[in-house]
Amino acid sequence: MKRMLLTISYDGTAYHGWQVQPNGITVQQTLQDSLERLLGERIDVTGCSRTDAGVHARRFMCHINCADNFPETAFLKGLNSLLPNDISVIDCKQVAPDFHARYDAKGKKYIYSMYVGELNPFYSRYMLHLEKMPDIDLMNKFCQGILGTHDFAPFSCSKRTVEDTVRTITECIVKIKDNILTFEITGNGFLYNMVRILAGTALAVGQQRLNPKCYEEIFESRDRSKAGDTLPAFALILDEVYY
Do 111 and 225 lie in one domain? The reply is yes
- In a domain, residue 236? The reply is yes
**Which residues on adjacent β-strands are paired with residue 63?**
5, 46
* Span 96-121, pLDDT tens digits: 999 999 999 999 999 999 999 999 99
Using the predicted structure, report yes or no on whether residue 160 has a pLDDT greater than 80. no
Q: Which of 44, 72, 95 is the last residue of a domain?
A: 95
Per-residue pLDDT, averaged over 162-190, amounts to: 96
Catalytic residues: 52
Give the tens place of pLDDT for each residue, 24-49.
Answer: 999 999 999 999 999 888 999 999 99
147 and 234 in a single domain? The answer is yes
Q: Is 42 in the same domain as 160?
A: no
The CATH number covering residue 50 comes to 3.30.70.580
Q: Which domain holds residue 161?
A: 107-242
Global pTM reads 0.93
From residue 151, alpha-carbon distances to 78, 143, 177, 190 in Å are 44, 15, 32, 11
In a domain, 172, yes or no: yes
Residue 34's alpha-carbon distances to 4, 41, 100, in angstroms, are: 16, 10, 22
Number of neighbours of residue 221 by Cβ within 10 angstroms:
11
Rounded mean pLDDT, 166-181: 97
pLDDT value, residue 162: 83
- Which CATH number does the domain housing residue 194 bear? 3.30.70.660
